[in-house]
Every structure is written in C-alpha cells, then in structure tokens.
Amino acid sequence: MRGPTEKELEGYTSPVYVYRAWCKGCGICVEFCPKNVLEIDDQNKCAVVRPQDCIKCKLCQLRCPDFAIIVDDGK
Amino acid sequence: MAFDRTAHKYLRKNFKMPTIWCSGCGIGIILGSIFKALEDLNMTGDNTVFVGGIGCSSRIPFYVDFDALHTTHGRPIAFATGVKFAKPDLNVVVVAGDGDTAAIGGNHFIHACRRNIDITLIVINNKIYGMTGGQYSPTTKSGEKTTTSPYGHIERSFDISKLAAAAGATYVARSSVYHVTHLDKIIKEAFAHKGMSVVEIMSPCWTTHGRRNRFKTPVEMYKWLKDNMIPLNAWEKLPEDKRAGKIPYGVFVNKKDIPEYCEAYYEHIIKPNLNKKRRDFSEDIEAMKIKLEIKAKEGWHV
Amino acid sequence: MSEFKRVGIIQGNEACAVAAIDAGVRFFAGYPITPSTEIAEMLAAELPKVGGRFIQMEDELGSMAALVGASFAGLKPMTATSGPGFSLMQENLGFAAMVEAPCVVVNVQRGGPSTGLPTKASQGDVMQAKWGSHGNYPIIALAPHTVREVYDATVMAVNFAEEYRTPVVLLLDEVIGHMRERVVLPMPEEIKVVNRKKPSEPPEFYKPYKHTEDYIPPMAIFGEGYRFLTTGLFHDEMGFPTSDDNEITKLVKRLHKKIYAHEEKIWRYEEFMTEDAEYLLIAYGSAARAAKEAVLLTRKEGKKVGLLRILTVWPFPAKIVRELANGKKAVLVCELNYGELVGEVERATKGLNVPVFFKGRWDGELLHPFEIRDFIKGV
C-alpha cells in the first residue's frame, strides 16, 4: 500500500483526505467539485475547507491525477 | 473512515512518487481508471503484463505493481504481440501515446488491429509530443501552434478511433479524462473484451500544447473537453455543419464474432499438427533415389 | 534407407531451422527476405508440430520486438533476416542487449549496402553485428562455414543466448544458406540444451538486474508473480530507471563482463595445418572454404601456410589470433567484404612485427582458392 499510512489517517474525521506530499496543486478537483468543498491554499496544494458540504460523489478522487485525494466510500 | 484506496494498492512498491507527470496532466487520471478496472476484473500481477513505448503516457508501466516492459518508441504493440502470442494466458495491456500509436508505430498498430490479437491498447491522445517539448504529432489539429509548427500547423490530423476501426479492431471506444465515469466504464469493457481493443482517451497537455494555444490553465483544457466532446448518439443526430471542432465519444465498435488471433492459431495450426512427425529429410533422400533410378534407366551414369 | 534417420542433402537454411527446434526454439517472428526466407518457411511448418509458435510480422522492427516480448514470456525466440532487415532490427537488438533478453537473430548475409545483391553472398555485416545499434553493448556472433556446422552453430547460438542472457547473431551468408550438402545430423535427444537461470528467491526479494558473481542475473518470466519492471533506460538492480553515474557504470560494465569474462568459453575456432606454418591465413564463413583449399594448393607449391578459421567472430578471439600470428612471416585475412574483421586482426597483432594483408571480394562472387593462392604467392 502506497500513499498515507494508517497512522496518518488515524483520527481523521472529514470525508475527504488530501495527501499533500503527492498533490501538485493543479486545481482540477477544486474546479469540478459540485459543492465547493476544496480550495487551493497558499502553498499551492489542495485543502479541504468545507468538509461539511461534501456529498461523497468522489469526483475529486476520480479526477485527481496524482492519487492524492481519497474519499470515504462508506464501506 | 473507510477510504477507497484502490490506486494506492496497485502502485508499484518502492517506486518514486509523486508521479513524473506535470501538474494537471491527465495521464494519472487514466491510471486511476486502469486501477479500478484491474480491481473489478481481478487482474493481478500474476496474470497481467503492462507494455509501454516511449513518451509521457508510456511511463504508466513504471507505476503499476505488475510485470512491465518499457520498450522502444513506437514498438510497444509489437512487443506485446510477442508476449501475448508466446503466453496467451496473460492479459496484455499496452499504454501508448498518439505519437507511439499513429506515427512511428502506425504499422504495428494497424496490423495488430487486423490480426485481432487479444491486447488492450490504451492510446492517450494529447495531440502533441510532450516529453520532447511540444512538437506536432499526427493528431495535432490544423492551425494549432507547436514548437515545430510555430506559424500554425498545415497538416490534417488522424482520427485514431476511425483508424483502429478501419484496420479491424473489434473493440474501439473514445473517452476523455474529463468524462471519468465513462472512462472507467470503457476501460473495463476493453480489458474484458476478447480480441484487439483500442481505447482512445483525450487527455490534455497544458505544459507543451495548451499554453501555446490560448489556454491559461490546465483546468481550462478540461473545461474545453467538457464543452466540446459529445456522446456518440447525440453526435449522430448532429447536422454535418455543426460537427466542426466537436469530438464524439462512446463505443464505436464492439464485435464479438471475429476469431481472436492466438485462439485461431491454436485451433487451426497447433492443434491439427501437434506431435506430427517432424521433417527429417528422409523423404528428400527417397525422392533423390527415385530420380537417380530414372536417370540410370535413361542410360545416364549415376 | 530407414537406418539413416537424420541424413539429408539439405540447405544451410534448413539445417538452421532443424537445429533451432532441436535446441528448444519455440517462437519465431520474422519478415520474408531473400536469402533467409527458407528458415521462416520451414519453421512455419515445423514449429506447430512441437507446440511452438510462428508469426509473420509487419516488418523487421516488429519481429525483433516480438522476439523480446516472447523471451520475457518464457519461450526461446528466433528470427531470420538478411542485410536490409538486419538494419531495421538494430533498434530492438540494442534493446534486447540492454534488457538482457535471450534471443537469436540469424542474418543470412547478402551484398550491400542497401538492397544490394539479394541473391549473392557477402560477409559485409560482420561489423554491423557488433556495432549496429547505438551505445555500448557486447554481442555474440557466430559464422559457420558448412551446412553441418550451421546446425551446430545454431544450437550453440540458442544455448549461448540462454546461458548469457544476451542476443546472439548467427552470421550465415547466401552461399552457406542456400548451398546443399549431405549431412548426418544428431538426434534431438543427443543435443546438449542450456536453459536460462531462474531466480531462486521469492518475488519480494527478486532483483531483475542483480549484479551477480558471474555477471548474469537470473531471469524471471512474466506472469509468475515477480512483478518486475524492465526498461531500455539505464536502470539499477531493481530495473528502475536511473541517471546515477555509479549505477550506469556498474550496469555497462556488467553487460560487457557478462560476455568478456566468459569469452574463452564462447570462442570456437579451428586450426588447420598451423603447426609448422610460416604464413597464417585467417577466414570465416564461406570464405574459409576457399581458404582451406588454398592452404592445400599452396602447400603443394612448397609454401607452408596454415589457416585459422574463426567460428566465434564476436567476441573476437584476439588472444588466439595473436598467439598464432606470433613469429609468422605474414598474416592474410580473407573476407567477402571491403575489409572488416581485418581491422580486428591488425589490432590483435599490434607490435608483433607481422605484416597483415587483406584479400577481399565484394561483388557477390566467392573467393576462388586460386585467387587466394595467387595472392599468397605475391606476399
């Protein structure tokens, strides 16, 4: 398993997780999020700013070219 | 939290991350779709091989935790033909760009389609040679500016899907990195298809193409795909004069009645001949003896 | 005649095809080209009988590519071609050398450059066999001189490819390929067949390009769970691309040592009347046939000539050439080209104070023993 370790994910409560080490800040996720949950921050990385609005449609995860976004799939 | 981590499971162990591709490049999105299809179809490192050529797209085999062959420019389909034909039990996936497929490797491409060998070819069409810095490719549109067409491109472009269909591929589909759910669907269908399957995926290259053609960000190029790609059924209803500049997406060919090459070879060539007596030249000797006898009868000194 | 199980009056090309199957070749990908086509034709008919596979590719670029693919899928692959096709194969021949894929390329040489002389003999591709693809890599090349030797050399080529994980070039020529000779071939079960070294460690510890003591890394096969990456880029032991100068140095050195550390085992040559010789002839392939005759002719006239007939042209047996040339009045190299291996002979005899002479032909005709005899007279 690559990406964030279980430890890094431990205690994380928002439905969207951004693995900043791999994010290149392209902004595709921000543009196509139907609920404006995400924004590009001052470090040019994706940040989850409105997690309460997330409807878990996973479009950000599907369109993230860098495997940096994972969404809770309720399983 | 139960996150969906399919991609993280299939990424090659110990290989350096993040990926080599530029910010906003669509190749990673396609790789994500590939991972999902692999998961759904139970294709594993024990039964699947990835083959890539040269270019940005062909870096995909590096990132999949599978047997992988990163080959020479234009030849991945020929390498894949060797792998598949030698060991037909394997699933063989070729990932190539538009240059690999339609320019330097055009010959291998059409002939693999003609043979209907069971290979899945994923063509990542970014309409440019990205890795070498943005030279025009066989799919660059007329009028576009590239480093080798600084005054605008004068050549016409290939339609890779039409080419594949005309050459005889039995599954041909087009999608884009914007239409991700459709992309997931057709990649899965292509993997599951028996015979030559070709999936053309429109994937923008902002760094070497969009930037020079009035796109301010990669995101704008994704929006362009959203606005200008039309589902096949809608495209067919569209009057001819409204089609200019638009690209249809969907499944163009899906034939199931054409024999697959490796199966046909086994059925018609190996099975009827297996364990038959090998040629040992005794028949030549016999033939020569008869000839000599005839000559002797004719009075020749033999 | 039933006691003669494998006796025939056969072509070199046919002998090559029979030997390939005996040596375990089970995959052939090729493109028709004179004068090599008989090999493809015969294997198309014979391979299915042993469960092997034959495919006629769209060109030689693709043929060579398919060979490497089949090699990694676990079969012993072979192709056959001639000059123009051999030129096209250079791209992926270099790739095969880089990724260390065992495979055999038969080049039935014809006149060149370009389309040249399709139906006549030449030895003009000897240097191309070694230096044809770009970059630094060694190669093994064999040049047999009789139909019977074509059989042995083909078996040897397949075995060398497997043993050393390398492409091997078999240099026939139009005369050797098309000439018919009576041969008695061994039965397949009498042949010593070598198979590639397989990894002994579990997949998680497997390094596809490990720097082993004998310089030959064990080779895993696709679909066995090793999940390895192989690339034509410079790579480290894991097969991952690298631009680290240390890693590149190690790789290039190992590729060369893999062949050169074992070269004495690879060298095959024949000494003919060299014990008391004052002059040394050096030849290979079809030119060696005339050279042998010329030795006998010249000896009748009182000049003591011996022949060193080289089968392994690459790696070049420089040590043997030097030992035999030492103390001779002159060395004469006979080739069907404008002078190729003669350069290697000059290199090998440097400082010995033995003059090296060259007699060549490049018009598609063979050297005549009289020509060589007269040439020796003039030395």
pLDDT at A33 > cutoff 60 = yes
A56 touches chain B (CB under 8 A): no
Q: What percent of chain B shows pLDDT beyond 90?
A: 90
For residue C260, the Cα-to-chain-centroid distance in whole angstroms is 15
Any idea what the Cα angle at residue C316 is, between residues C311 and C322, rounded to 5°?
100
CA–CA dist C339, C327 (Å, integer): 23
C202 touches chain B (CB under 8 A): no
Q: What is the pLDDT of residues B213-270, one digit of tens each?
A: 999 999 999 999 999 999 999 999 999 999 999 999 999 999 999 999 999 999 999 9
Structural domains in chain C, CATH included, are 7-190 (3.40.50.970), 270-377 (3.40.50.920)
**Phi then psi for C350, rounded to 5 degrees?**
-55, 130
For residue C220, the Cα-to-chain-centroid distance in whole angstroms is 25
pLDDT on residue C1: 38
Which chains have at least 3 CB atom pairs separated by less than 8 Å from chain C?
A: B
The residue count for chain B: 302
pLDDT higher at A13 or B11: B11
**Phi then psi for B250, rounded to 5 degrees?**
145, -165
Cβ-nearest to B72 among C49, C51, C232: C232
CA–CA dist B244, B158 (Å, integer): 15
CA–CA dist B134, B147 (Å, integer): 6
pLDDT higher at C4 or B201: B201
Closest residue in A to B19 (Cα) is A66
CA–CA dist C128, C112 (Å, integer): 12
The verdict on a CB contact (< 8 Å) between B1 and A13 is yes
The verdict on a CB contact (< 8 Å) between C66 and B269 is no
Cβ-nearest to B27 among A65, A71, A75: A65
- pLDDT band with cut points at 50, 70 and 90 for residue B292: confident
B288 touches chain C (CB under 8 A): yes
Cα–Cα distances in angstroms (integers) from residue C171 to residues A50, C110, C121, C219, C285, in the given order: 71, 11, 11, 26, 8
pLDDT on residue A75: 66
* Chain A nearest C-alpha distance from B178 (Å): 7
Containing H/E element for C27?
Answer: strand C25-30
pLDDT on residue B288: 76
Closest residue in A to B182 (Cα) is A62
C184 touches chain B (CB under 8 A): no
Residue A37 near residue A50 (C-beta atoms within 8 A): yes
For C:4-23, CB contacts with B below 8 A are: 4-10, 14, 18, 21
Structural domains in chain B, CATH included, are 3-257 (3.40.50.970)
Q: Which residues of A28-52 are buried (b: 16+ CB within 10 A; e: fewer)?
A: bbbbbbeeebbebeeeebbbbeeee
pLDDT in tens, chain C (379 residues): 344 468 888 999 999 999 999 999 999 999 999 999 999 999 999 999 999 999 999 999 999 999 999 999 999 999 999 999 999 999 999 999 999 999 999 999 999 999 999 999 999 999 999 999 999 999 999 999 999 999 999 999 999 999 999 999 999 999 999 999 999 999 999 999 999 999 999 999 999 999 999 999 999 999 999 999 999 999 999 999 999 999 999 999 999 999 999 999 999 999 999 999 999 999 999 999 999 999 999 999 999 999 999 999 999 999 999 999 999 999 999 999 999 999 999 999 999 999 999 999 999 999 999 999 999 998 8
User: Please, do chains A and C touch (3+ CB pairs < 8 Å)?
Assistant: no
Is this complex's ipTM strictly greater than 0.85?
yes
B20 touches chain C (CB under 8 A): no
Cα–Cα distances in angstroms (integers) from residue B3 to residues A73, B8, C40, in the given order: 6, 11, 55
CA–CA dist C209, C238 (Å, integer): 6
The verdict on a CB contact (< 8 Å) between A9 and B23 is no
The residue count for chain C: 379
Closest residue in C to B107 (Cα) is C58
A24 touches chain B (CB under 8 A): yes
Q: Give burial (CB, 10 Å; 0-12/13-18/19+) of C30.
A: buried
For B:130-169, CB contacts with C below 8 A are: none
Instruction: Compute the average pLDDT of residues A14-36.
Output: 96
pLDDT on residue B299: 85
CA–CA dist B106, C276 (Å, integer): 60
pLDDT on residue C2: 41
Closest residue in C to B261 (Cα) is C55
Mutant choice from A28, A57, A60 vs B, greatest count of B C-beta within 10 A: A28
**Angle between the B76-86 and B106-115 helix axes, to the nearest 10 degrees?**
30
The residue count for chain A: 75
For B:5-44, CB contacts with A below 8 A are: 5, 7-9, 11, 13, 17-19, 21-29, 31-33
Torsion from C-alpha of B27, B30, B34, B35, nearest 10 degrees: 80
Contacts of A71 in chain B (CB under 8 A): 3-4
Cβ-nearest to B18 among A24, A27, A63: A24
Q: What is the pLDDT of residues B1-60, one digit of tens each?
A: 689 999 999 999 999 999 999 999 999 999 999 999 999 999 988 899 999 999 999 999
* DSSP symbol at B6: H
* Chain B nearest C-alpha distance from A36 (Å): 15
The verdict on a CB contact (< 8 Å) between B81 and C75 is no
Q: Residue C71: which residues within 8 A CB-CB, separation 6 or more? A: B82, C77, C96, C101, C102, C103
C88 touches chain B (CB under 8 A): no
Which chains have at least 3 CB atom pairs separated by less than 8 Å from chain B?
A: A, C
Contacts of C11 in chain B (CB under 8 A): none
C32 touches chain B (CB under 8 A): no
For C:334-363, CB contacts with B below 8 A are: none
B227 touches chain A (CB under 8 A): no
Q: Which of B98, B142, B104, B146 is nearest to B121 (CA)?
A: B98
Contacts of C6 in chain B (CB under 8 A): 280-281
Closest residue in A to B26 (Cα) is A65
CA–CA dist B295, B158 (Å, integer): 64
The verdict on a CB contact (< 8 Å) between B25 and A12 is no
pLDDT at A64 > cutoff 70 = yes
Containing H/E element for C82?
Answer: none
Q: Are strands C103-111 and C76-81 parallel, antiparallel or unpaired?
A: parallel
C189 touches chain B (CB under 8 A): no
Which chains have at least 3 CB atom pairs separated by less than 8 Å from chain A?
A: B
pLDDT on residue C3: 47
The verdict on a CB contact (< 8 Å) between B24 and A61 is no
The verdict on a CB contact (< 8 Å) between B181 and A61 is no
DSSP reduced 3-state for B96: strand
Mutant choice from B48, B54, B69, B119 vs C, greatest count of C C-beta within 10 A: B69
Instruction: Compute the average pLDDT of residues A12-23.
Output: 94
CA–CA dist B73, B96 (Å, integer): 9
The verdict on a CB contact (< 8 Å) between B24 and A26 is yes
Mutant choice from B16, B19, B23 vs A, greatest count of A C-beta within 10 A: B23
